[in-house]
Amino acid sequence: MIRENVIRGSNGWLLLALLIVAIVLVLWGTIAAARAAHLWLTLALVVVLVILGACLGGFIVVNPNEAKVVLLFGKYLGTIKVHGFRWMNPLCTKKHVSLRVRNFESSKLKVNDRDGNPIEIAAVVVWQVVDTAEAIFHVDDYENFVHVQSEAALRNMASSYPYDAHEEHQISLRGNTTEIAEQLKREVQERLAKAGVEVLEARISHLAYAPEIANAMLRRQQAAAIIAARQKIVEGAVGMVEMALEQLSRKAIIQLDEERKAAMVSNLLVVLCSDRDAQPVVNTGTLYQ
């Protein structure tokens, strides 16, 4: 594996000053040799002048949060990360790599969750290059690699969890956003590590049922909400009835036999659990007639 090797390069301003002085001196010597009719000396100075001129092509500018990967005839020499005006051998090839933090938002993917329900999901991945050698030499196009592998990780993660939790303590895509984000970040990082990329954050940006089942799932959610609400109402009503019977017995307000208790419980539950206002009925007789 090719690992990143950080190099500094030469100070561009110093080399530029030296090259200018050398070019001026060699140019002056070439003119002098030509006037003196020294043919071979003139040709040699012209060659030196061409070489000095070619050296001007070795100057590069490295901006902050950018890097230059340097190769000499296919051999990796190192990466220049020191920003400023630098100089390298003009025969070297310099490849630009951005070290800035970047965002990638996937398209809306249609996948099946763990329960087999078709859903639409998309995610935002925040990433940056941390190893320029791996980014350049281990993958063909690291930016495209990030996009493809992020979507692949999102598909795999979405199919591993249900959209909604149907059991207690079950992790779901909609109900456990923090845990899902951490899992997505781990999966994307595992796939992108070989490309020298670090994933800083990965979160779901869009989550919904597919249009063909959206109405059915909406009714299912509404039914589940109604059932949960009814359970709470019944629990509260039973507690209130129990408290009423206990206080009536403790304060000796009235003595109730089992039949009267059953009638009172029935009436209280109807009043407390009904989704409409109860209509009072006045009983002018007794329970025993």
Sign of CA dihedral 203, 206, 209, 215: positive
Q: At what angle do helices 177-192 and 142-158 cross, to 10 degrees?
A: 140
Beta strands in 65-196 (DSSP E): 66-72, 75-80, 84-87, 93-98, 102-105, 109-112, 118-129
Give the pLDDT confidence of 274-283 residue by residue, as tens digits. Answer: 666 666 665 5
Sign of CA dihedral 153, 157, 159, 164: negative
Read out DSSP for 20-88?
Answer: HHHHHHHHHHHHHHHHTT-HHHHHHHHHHHHHHHHHGGGEEEE-TTEEEEEEETTEEEEEE---EEEE-
H or E segment to which residue 233 belongs: helix 211-250
Report the pLDDT value the prediction gives residue 261, as an integer from 0 to 100.
66
Give the pLDDT confidence of 29-82 residue by residue, as tens digits. Answer: 888 888 877 788 888 888 888 888 888 888 999 999 999 999 999 899 999 998
Report the pLDDT value the prediction gives residue 253, as an integer from 0 to 100.
66
Count CB neighbours of 257 within 10 A.
Answer: 8
Which stretches of the chain score pLDDT less than 70?
213-226, 229, 248, 251-261, 263-264, 267-289
Report the pLDDT value the prediction gives residue 115, as an integer from 0 to 100.
83
- Within 93-141, where are the H helices? 132-137
DSSP state of 277: P
What pTM does this model have?
0.68
3-state helix, strand, coil in the chain (%, to 5): 50, 20, 30
- The alpha carbon of 288 is separated from its chain's Cα centroid by a whole number of angstroms, namely 72
Report the pLDDT value the prediction gives residue 29, as an integer from 0 to 100.
86
